[in-house]
Amino acid sequence: MELKVVTFVLNDQVFGVDIMKVESIVEPEKIRPIPESSDFIEGVMNLRGKIIPVVNLKKKFKMPDIRSEKAKPKIIVADVKSTLAGFLVDDVSEVITITEREMEEVPRNVGGIGKNYILGLAKVKGDILVILNIEEVLSSDEKVELERIKNSV
């Protein structure tokens, strides 16, 4: 089994997501904030006539907001259980193929809510790639909030 993943960077950490879940990768443009939304929701953007909620993955993962001079922020637009959502990242690197041999399961002693949305780990170019299940990054309540935001605009 092989998995094609789009790799992206948050701070200095490399993540990947199944390319089959990615609709497009776009430059961040006008993102309109939505009052009283969760702190990790940057707002909404207009993508080819569709209103797309935008999630800041650093805030969602409670990571410090460190801006590298080399960062070229992008929004990965993905299909999250039949709803399009944008995920703001520092940079998108490349598309790579991960073989079953290269992928390892998340160690059992890794706790926290994150274990629910981490598909696995892979060693790539001397670094550890965290492969995310993008459909599970958001809780069911957060998905409802995105849907509510999308429908209220």
Q: Decide: 68 and 80 in contact? Cβ < 8 Å.
A: no
Residue 89 makes CB contacts below 8 A (sequence gap 6+) with: 8, 9, 10, 15, 57, 73, 74, 75, 76
> What was the pLDDT predicted at 147?
85
Burial of 136 (0-12, 13-18, 19+ CB in 10 A): middle
Tens digits of residue pLDDT in 118-136: 888 998 888 889 999 998 9
The per-residue pLDDT for 109 is: 64
**Tens of pLDDT along 16-53?**
999 999 999 999 989 999 998 999 999 999 999 999 99
What is the token pair recorded at 46?
């207009």
Q: Is 109 exposed, middle or buried (0-12, 13-18, 19+ CB in 10 A)?
A: exposed
The pLDDT > 90 percentage for the chain reads: 54
Reply yes or no on whether the pLDDT at 113 is more than 60: no
pLDDT, residue 117, reads 87
CATH entry, 2-152, from 2.160.10.10, 3.40.50.1100, 2.40.50.180, 3.30.1360.70: 2.40.50.180
| Domains of the chain, residue spans | 2-152
